[in-house]
A and B are shown apart, each in its own frame.
Chain A
């Protein structure tokens, strides 16, 4: 369709909603095949391959930016997650089942994190799916607003703006598209070499993506040993394993495979890139199918109409209240004063 990932997902959601509401018998016919969770999990495994290859490319480019990406993990997982969870639980009164996927969706990397967290805490499948649909909608809003806001408020700090996009925009596709828009805005004024700002945004996002599995393991342990355990009950490690979302392992295998192949056969990186591009088409296809399936469900329309208001409120308050501003502060702390090289891109 020639659309960006997010626009394509919204179009798929919209088409699903139309079929689900106006062509009900056709929707019923399709419902057997509408395996939302399966589509999302398959897409997430494919994301791992792309992340592996991008990680390899960035490692060859600049160690400084790579090291500073560590700050992104600390911020997304330890600060954002805790604050959003606290807000959702204490201020908005959400239950744990809703608060944890919401915190992961708003603070980490959107769809993948919300689905993985939902699995780790044994939330009902509809909970992370609702959160995911919200994440995609807000990513588009961020994509349209944040690069221009960055250029307006920090015109002299291109790398701060680039890192900010990686920290604040919540889906991979939207974050990288924001990085590209930011780069285009700053390059028009400064004559910087192409690729450095986009590389910064991508590196920050990759760091955040990589730690989803670690965070899910921590959440599974906290839920098994601290929250769901009844007094006097003995819990085995198997319970943690049962809860751990297995598709995250697939994600890591795909990541490790691509990065290992790239390191062992540097002359084959071109071919790896081609296969990654092909896999990316499948990833987008599976995500689009997932959003189509979400829209197809008649019940989802009702949930959107009647139940989403409160979720949107948490999202808006957290995202625009502190997530993007803390992101800007930390990007400033770690990247201000660093300039991309100027001149003609080699």
Chain B
């Protein structure tokens, strides 16, 4: 017994597919740059009080929590306000730092919902085929064809008009973006399931009497997981971008402190104070770029077929 264990240990252990993917990812400079950007934002969101210069929603020079330096509305970038102040007198840099949490909430929340729906529809449609597949794909087509961005604006206007602006406004935005963002991913996952379903090991496990839910979750799901991870990363970027655009047009959650909302409140004063609009927009760009670079790197790393 102990002899055989020793023999087993002596043999070098095979490297898992995930470790191989990580090795490929590490070699990709742009992907690592993306990972570094995302990591920096995670730190920023987690320790926002430490990274920011002033407390949240603090009118510098007036509010008791931040009495100095002197109050200045639409003040230009300076040593005490690296990105200037906005019309209310908030420090633009600090508000951007506090906006990072909202950006993660939007990115992860909306994407989580969208990918959950996409995975369910993709797995079920691809695995069962027949009329279920046909029905689900027709529904997906409806959602693919509708002008997503326009309906998003209408939905938000209707919902936010009837739910008082107070609490949960941002969650509504997150929910609506997520509820409309799944169809592309659902199609891709279904296509991948159709491919994996034809592999011999699936037929083999069916032969030995594996239940269909076992096949679905133990065999199909892990084999399309790499696609899901890539879709997830790229969708986070898209969700953040969508929320920023929606808020910029004035359809965001009124009380929330997202970068889009900051741009919306400052965009009327662009001629006097460009910093209050452009710096939040710049941070949207950097964060979206981070997730896009990472997502593309993950695609190359997780799907070696794309690289021959």
The answer on A and B forming one complex is no
Interface residues, chain B, CB within 8 Å of chain A? none
